[in-house]
């Protein structure tokens, strides 16, 4: 907190629109929250309401290699940590590490 900066002077004008911080502390509005270098957890007073979220399918770590962005405009194989791939751009799109140009030597 900066002792020379008066949060009340700037934030009072924003009125009362309660907001809850990630530290579970109530602030009168977002100006007071930001003035105190805190982060918003939710609008309204603490505690924040968190509805239960149904189980969702897991999200893959990398794009689906069959997706529209993982393709080669020209066949130019490279060797990756997961074997040979048709081109460098496809390997990178799939999240693979390229060891060298050309197919892998098995």
Length of the chain counted residue by residue: 106
Please tell me the predicted confidence (pLDDT) of residue 61: 57
Q: Which CATH class is domain 7-43?
A: alpha beta
The answer to whether 77 and 105 have CB atoms below 8 angstroms apart is no
Q: Name the residue ranges covered by the structural domains of the chain.
A: 7-43, 57-106
Among candidates 22, 25, 27, which has minimal Cα distance to 41? 22
Other Cβ atoms less than 10 A from the Cβ of 51: the count is 5
Structure-token match 């530290």, residue found: 23
User: In the predicted model, what is the mean pLDDT of residues 79-85?
Assistant: 91
Read off the pLDDT of residues 5-32 as tens digits, 9 standing for 90 and up.
Answer: 688 888 988 899 999 999 999 999 999 9
Q: For the chain, what percentages of helix, strand and coil (3-state, to nearest 5) are there?
A: 20, 20, 65
Distances in whole angstroms, Cα of residue 76 to Cα of each of 88, 91, 98: 7, 11, 13
């Amino acid at each position: 907190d900066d002792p020379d900066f008066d949060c009340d002077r700037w934030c009072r004008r924003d009125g009362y629109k309660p907001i809850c911080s990630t530290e579970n502390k109530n602030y009168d509005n977002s100006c007071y929250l930001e003035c105190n270098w805190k982060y918003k957890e939710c609008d309204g007073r603490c505690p924040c309401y968190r509805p239960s979220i149904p189980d969702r399918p897991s999200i893959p770590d990398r794009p689906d290699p069959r997706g529209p962005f993982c393709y080669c405009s020209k066949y130019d194989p490279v060797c990756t940590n997961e074997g040979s791939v048709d081109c460098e751009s496809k390997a990178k799109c799939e999240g693979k590490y390229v060891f060298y140009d050309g197919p892998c030597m098995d």
